[in-house]
Chain A
Amino acid sequence: MTVLAAILAQVIHSALMLAAAPVAGALRDGFEARLGGRRGADPWQPWRDLRRLARKQPALTETATLLPRIAPVACFAAAALAAAMVPSFTLGMAFARFADLLVVVGLLAASRIVVALAGLEAGTAPAGLAAGRMTRLACLSEPTLYLVILAFGMLGGTTNLDLLFGLRLQGMLQPVAAAILAVAALALAALAGPDEAALTAEFSGADLALVRMGGCLRELAWLSLAAGLLLPAGVAEPGRGPLAWVIGLAAWSAKVVVLIACLAALRAGAGDLRPSRRPLALGVAAILGTLAALLVLASVAAA
């Protein structure tokens, strides 16, 4: 019965992530537009765009090989698996045992890399520049991510996301300040990471729909990760019934919307992060990550 419930929870969670991913991006844009005094698009507009794109025949260059045909699928698969592993409304889902924090971070990176590979395949200038920019920024953000994973690993004694979320829910990730610092570093590293608009220019039609969906899923996975580690309340513990799931669902939606609103406010207030400022932001993220790890270590030494 528990196994069936775990599988059912996993299916519902995966469907939820798939359905919510495009809406989350639209919500952020909508909030940002509202804060800027504009009306903003309908939150369902990305879904309409995706449906329109999915019906279109992708066009490839005359020299295209198999790579740009596979890359959208691989990009989507990696992002979808990462999003399926980050718990949303309940713990103890079917993939819980595989949901290692380092694996999720690695999958999110892999999802971007295949798009860059396909971009390089076309041999155009913007794609090449974007691929270089992506790896350069990844070199700056990856050490921070490892430090954050170190901090969480030391806080909880594990890097498994399901266990970490559970420990955070029970208030066992002490000191909380270290957890908050680590989440801040994680968020900053994810935010200041590269945008791949120049890379998606190589795709069209149904392929573009898959790549865009992959990008939305990556964003939602980061948000969901931050929500679970920062605001743990409401998540259903393993083995709980449908009522707890419904409460968890409502709590998760509220948390994600709050985070999106904060993000939008940040962007509306401070403006989008300029590419030349991204290394600086990543440096700050690295300092925050180091501080989080040191805080954990100091608290252990004091205890």
Chain B
Amino acid sequence: MNAPLLAFLVAAIAALLGLGALAAVWPRRASLIVWSAAGVAGFAAAIALLDLLLAMPPATAALPLVLPLGLPGVPLRLALDPLAAFFAALVFGTGSATLAFIAATEEFPAATAVPICVGMLGIAVLGENGFAEGLGLALAGTALWMSGSADRSGAAQFGLALLAAAAVVAAGAILPRAGLWTALIGPGALAGLLPLHRWTAPAHGASTPTAALLSGAIVPTALFVMLRLLLSPNGTVPPAWWGVTLSLAGAAAAVIGGLDAAQAPDLDSALAAGTMRQTGLATLGIGVALTAVGEDLPAVATMALAAVLVLAVLQAIAGTLLALACGAIREGAGTRRLDRLGGLVRRMPVTTVCLLAGLTGLAAVPASAGFAVAWLLLHAFLGLPHAGTLPAQLWRCALVAAVGLASALSIAAALRLVGVACLGRPRTPRCAVADEPSRGGRLVLVTLALATTAWGVLVGPLLIVFADAPMRVLTGAGLGPLATPLGLAGGVESPGYAALPIACLLALIGGLVIWLRRLLGVPAAAAGGPAWEDGFAAPPGWLPFGDPTTQTAGADFAPSFHRCGASWPGRDSEIDRPNHTVPATGDWRTIVGSLRELASKGVNLRPLPAGSAPAIVLILLAGLLILCAWAGVS
């Protein structure tokens, strides 16, 4: 049953590549081509889901399909095991939604790149050898780079894709023992882990489809590659320090990404930082899973990996939704800066509700998928062995606190983005006349918003249906008692988190209150009059939307931890220090300062010379091919 489905998927990938090429040579028919590509990607996602449904136990062994493409001695081998099918469904689903949005909003400059990128990511996910995975990642990166902006961020994103590809190839053949470093440097960096996160982040400022693919398709693919590199199904126990290192990298990315997301000055960088927070949480989950595998605790490893799978799906659905919604806001309101947006809910109600649904899905609020992730991670920490040295225990406390902080920051970011961009008064005249995307675009947004909500409320049953077989690939055992029809269970005797009943009870109480108010004849709210401004004078006539400075622009929604040492908790010393002197070079303060700078800003590339990009691409591609050939020979 597996082979025909794989053949269908390969045909769909070929069709996507062909449609992408067709859009380049026949731009007048771009609309038809993009709609067809959306259909093909949706079909591929359905095939992958069908494979997952059929792969319920006993799962059949995946037969590889060898394509007559590739280098001498290094064929392109594709296979469809349940884990690949799980992530293929995410990649193709994201691709389908993005393509449908492009077609509906007529953003045709991306009509070539997006189908090719989705197809190539499909090859990366379905690849059975390092060459196929590497080639897919490299060419997907190339396609994105060609479509996106030609500035350094696009080039950096592309370089990261190539780096990830090289890491995959190297891990497959040459350096099988260096799995952690290849995973961290390659796919980890591609997904936005420290300290390379700044390379990826500004690229989210690219066009809407590119941003959607970056956060919705590339990040899950990078997580998939990390899982493949780090968790070997043949039962090898990873060294203990792998788990510790990964948890450190994950916790740091989650906290710094969370802080950035709650402080970023514009929508795109907030979303990019939010993606980094999610990647960090997923890496933390992989780290805990590796530790649990090392300690021979399969149930805990399953719990941590379930968190990773929930996060991957959440990132695919909500990440795409948020990127598309922000694209719609940028298009409709003409800016992405938070201090120039505001009041969009009155002109763009559908987009606002969808943005709220996506951000709530990511935030750790009960009945959302983000809450399920926090719950799973916390219970994975609970399941780790309690005995150990003091540093190890302090370490665990710090990681749990990091999960808590990341959860709080996810709520802060959600409240801030919706509150500043969509609620309140408009800050510019352009916002006051913002327009919703077309009907098709709105339909895509609403579908994704419903999917995000459903993934949170029905996380238990959906995990049972779709994640059991992938978990078998990862750990050798299924989900076991972890997922229940009502939600998640921490153990056999512990009832756990019941997402579905909680959502139903909330709806029931809300409905009851509304019904009681009707029954008791409480008069409905009457609208009239301006908002009460604490008795301040009315704004002058030339400020038709009120004084913008009386409305928060979201500057203070997260604590500023970098000032902890100097001024926290007093406020006096928060004023810039005029007598601050630069310490001499070699002073320890310089080292601490630069480390802090590195942690907060990351390594930044200087702008590349304009003409150098194609040459760099060719050199990198050639290097990759040589690496592949060498891998095949050795």
A interface residue numbers (CB < 8 A to B) = 54-65, 67-69, 73-74, 76-78, 80-81, 95-98, 100, 102-103, 106-107, 109-110, 113, 116-117, 120-126, 128-129, 131-133, 135-136, 138-147, 149-150, 153-154, 157-160, 163, 201-202, 205-207, 210, 276-280, 283, 286, 290, 293-294, 296-298, 300-301
CA–CA, A121 and B415, complex, Å:
11
Contact in complex: B530, A150 (CB < 8 Å): no
Bound form: Cα–Cα A58–B529 in Å: 13
Chain A residues near B571 (CB, 8 Å)? 276
User: A118: nearest residue on chain B (CB-CB)?
Assistant: B423
Q: Give complex CA distance A271, B495 in Å.
A: 41
CB neighbours (8 Å) of B396 from chain A are: 293, 297
A158 touches B403 (CB 8 A): no
> Contact at B424–A57, with CB atoms within 8 Å?
no
Within 8 Å CB of B495, what residues of A? 96-98, 100, 158, 160, 163
Distance A136 CA – B563 CA, assembled complex (angstroms): 14
The smallest C-beta distance from A105 to any residue of chain B, in angstroms, reads: 9
Among candidates A59, A65, A122, residue contacting B346 with C-beta atoms closer than 8 Å: A65
Supplied contacts A63-B531, A73-B514, A131-B415, 6 more A-B pairs, CB within 8 Å: A60-B526, A63-B343, A102-B374, A143-B404, A147-B400, A159-B490
In the assembled complex, the CB of B251 is this many whole angstroms from the nearest CB of chain A, namely 11
CB distance B529 to A121 under 8 Å?
no
Contact residues of B between 533 and 556, Cβ < 8 Å to A: 533-534, 546, 550-552, 554-556
Docked CA distance A123–B530 (Å) = 11
Q: A110-B365, A129-B552, A136-B557 are known contacts. Are A62 and B497 too (CB-CB below 8 A)?
A: no
The verdict on A120 contacting B415 (CB below 8 Å), with A131-B552, A150-B378 known, is yes
Please tell me if the beta carbons of A142 and B415 are within 8 angstroms of each other in the complex. Answer: no
The CA of A146 and the CA of B380, in the complex, are separated in Å by: 13
Asked if B366 lies at the interface with its beta carbon under 8 angstroms from chain A, I say: yes
Contact B527 A144 (CB under 8 A): no
Task: Please tell me if the beta carbons of B527 and A60 are within 8 angstroms of each other in the complex.
Answer: yes
Main secondary structure of the interface of A (DSSP, over half): helix
By beta carbon, the residue of chain B nearest A139 is B408
Q: Are A279 and B386 in contact (CB under 8 A)?
A: no
B495 closest partner in A (C-beta): A97
Min C-beta distance of B244 to chain A, whole Å: 17
- Contact present for A123 and B531 (CB under 8 Å): yes
Give the complex CA separation of A80 and B513 in angstroms.
11
Minimum distance in angstroms from B600 CB to a CB of chain A:
17
Complex contact A205–B550 (CB within 8 A) = no
A81:B415 contact, CB within 8 angstroms: no
Shortest distance in angstroms between B1's beta carbon and chain A's nearest beta carbon?
38
CB distance from B494 to the nearest CB of A (A): 4
In whole angstroms, how far apart are the Cα atoms of A198 and B131 in the complex? 60
Contact B412 A301 (CB under 8 A): no
Complex: chain B residue closest to A286, CB-CB: B401
Measured CB to CB, the closest approach of chain B to A150, in angstroms, equals 5
Q: Please tell me if the beta carbons of B496 and A100 are within 8 angstroms of each other in the complex.
A: yes
Whether the pair B365, A124 counts as a contact (CB closer than 8 A) is no
Residues of A contacting B568 with CB < 8 Å? 279
**Interface flag for B379 (CB, 8 Å):** yes
Whether A146 pairs with B401 at a CB distance below 8 angstroms is yes
Q: Which residue of A lies closest to B424 (CB)?
A: A123
Q: Are B532 and A81 in contact (CB under 8 A)?
A: no
User: Once the chains are docked, how many angstroms separate the CA of A121 from the CA of B353?
Assistant: 13
Cα(A120)–Cα(B497), bound, Å: 31
- Tell me if B514 and A154 are in contact (CB < 8 A): no
Query: Do A158 and B490 touch (CB < 8 A)?
Result: yes
Q: Is B502's beta carbon under 8 Å from chain A?
A: yes
Quick check: is B451 within 8 A (CB to CB) of the other chain? Answer: no
Closest-CB distance, A279 to chain B (whole angstroms): 4
The verdict on A206 contacting B517 (CB below 8 Å), with A98-B495, A123-B425, A296-B386 known, is yes
Check: B72 CB closer than 8 A to any chain A CB. Answer: no
Find out whether the CB atom of A150 lies under 8 angstroms from the CB atom of B397.
yes
**Which of B404, B423, B528, B531 is within 8 Å of A146, CB to CB?**
B404
Q: Which residues of B contact A293 (CB under 8 A)?
A: 393, 396-397, 400
Q: Which of B183-191, B460-468, B504-512 contacts A (4 or more CB under 8 A)?
A: B504-512
Determine the distance from Cα of A207 to Cα of B531 in the docked complex, in whole angstroms: 16
Asked whether B531 lies within 8 Å of A61 as measured between CB atoms, the reply is yes
In chain A, what residue has the closest Cβ to B345?
Answer: A65
Q: Which of A139, A158, A296 contacts B405 (CB 8 A)?
A: A139
Which residues of A are found within 8 Å of B262, using beta-carbon distances? 135, 139
| Residue B97 at the chain A interface, CB threshold 8 Å | no
B378 to chain A, nearest CB (A): 6
Judge if B351 is at the interface, Cβ distance under 8 Å: no
Interface string of B51-87 (1 = CB under 8 A from A): 0000000000000000000000000000000000000
* A54 and B516 alpha carbons, distance in the complex (Å): 11
**With contact pairs A117-B423, A150-B400 given, residues A77 and B412 touching in the complex (Cβ less than 8 Å):** no
Could you say which of B262, B365, B371 has the most chain A C-beta atoms within 10 Å of its C-beta? Answer: B365
Residues of B within 8 A of A206 (CB): 517, 522-523
Judge whether B415 and A117 touch: CB under 8 Å.
yes
Contacts of A126 in B (CB 8 A): 534
Our pick among B407, B409, B505 for the contact of A81 (Cβ within 8 Å) is B505
Chain B residues with Cβ under 8 A from A74's Cβ? Answer: 506, 510
Cα separation A76 to B556 with both chains bound (whole Å): 27
Alpha-carbon distance A296/B390, docked complex (angstroms): 12
Contact across chains for A131 and B557 when beta carbons are under 8 A apart = yes
Q: Would you call A132 and B552 a contact (CB within 8 A)?
A: yes
B424 to chain A, nearest CB (A): 3
